[in-house]
Structure 1
Amino acid sequence: MIAKKVLLVGNFGVGKTSLIRRFVLNEFSEEYISTIGVRVSSKIIKIDTEEIKLLIWDVAGTSADEKVPKAYFLGSSAAMFVFDLSREETYNNIKNQVDIVKQLSGLGTITVVGNKKDLVTFKEIEQLKKTISISIDLITSAKDDENVEDAFKELAKQSLN
């Protein structure tokens, strides 16, 4: 079995912790608990014939003027940038934010995930896809457990490259 450090990054309140809780514990809570610094969870998953222990770093949310310590990004094998489909401020500068994550982590590819699908309509998602400056890899809902497993499988596959 191999262990891989993977990151979840994005603004405050986009659902990073909820995605991790849904994936690792199959739980969801409406209560918002802000992550301070970083929280590390783990789960073993199988990709093809490879067992991978994902060490999932839940990096505290940021605002544009707040910097996350570079040390959190060192040694990461993959990263997921999460934004809230229902809050424009979490994606209106997304290309720049993803570029910063790439620069800090040294990763060439970042998985981009739009979360909280349960709060928006299909039509709103289609409109968002046309206006956002980069492509979205997955649309998820931690609340409804939609595409959560797929998002982490994508992250695991990315960590093997």
Structure 2
Amino acid sequence: MIKKKICMLGAFAAGKTSLVQRYVHSLFSEKYHTTVGVKIDKKPVNINGTSADLLLWDIYGEDDFQAVRSSYLRGASGCLLVVDGTRRSTLDTAHDLLKRTQETVGHIPVIFVINKSDLMDTWEIEPIQLEALEKQGMLIVQTSAKDGSGVEKAFTTLAEMMLEE
């Protein structure tokens, strides 16, 4: 069985845990739960005829007081950089985390996940910022952990990218 480690990275309260819960258990809770350290979930998948276990490392959110440990990144096959569409600052945090991830594990498949698409009318992230990311060659998937839109696509696309390598 192939095992692939996916790191869920992003700012504090961007929706990393909610995305994992939606993907693995088809659940969503309005209650906010702070991740302490790292929580690991496993999701068996079949991607284009290949069976694999995705090991989802839900790593605590980065903020002004706490930086993600590089030791959590080691061994990662892919990364979902989670951005809260309603908070522009979380995009800057994602850029910093991308740089640190590349310094730690090299260039691995990465997707920018712009979360909270159900709240798009309150987004602070402008379409021009997303276009700039795409011009840099970054893949972007808009998601809502609340209603489930885009969640399967984000994880499946990353799994496909990791299995191609």
TM-score by length of 1: 0.90
Map of 1:110 onto structure 2: 110
Q: 1:103 to 1:64 in 2, by over 3 A?
A: farther
1:70 aligns with 2:70: yes
Map of 1:28 onto structure 2: 28
* Cα shift at 1:109: 3.5
In angstroms, what is the RMSD of aligned CA positions?
Answer: 2.0
* Cα shift at 1:26: 0.3
* Cα shift at 1:82: 0.4
1:149 aligns with 2:152: yes
Moved more, 47-56 or 63-72: 63-72
1:131 aligns with 2:129: yes
Paired residue secondary structure (1:39): strand
The 2-side partners of 1:36 and 1:106 are apart by 26
- The equivalent position to 1:159 in structure 2, one of 135, 140, 162, is 162
The 2-side partners of 1:54 and 1:93 are apart by 25
Query: Which segments of 5 or more consecutive residues in structure 1 lack a partner in the other structure?
Result: none
Paired residue secondary structure (2:56): strand
Paired residue secondary structure (1:121): helix
TM-score by length of 2: 0.88
Q: Within 5 Å, which residues of 2 pair with 1:73-92?
A: 73-92=73-92
Map of 1:15 onto structure 2: 15
CA distances 1:3-50 after superposition (whole Å, capped 9, x unpaired)? 111111000100000000000000000000000110000111111010
Query: Which segments of 5 or more consecutive residues in structure 2 lack a partner in the other structure?
Result: none
The 1-side partners of 2:8 and 2:140 are apart by 14
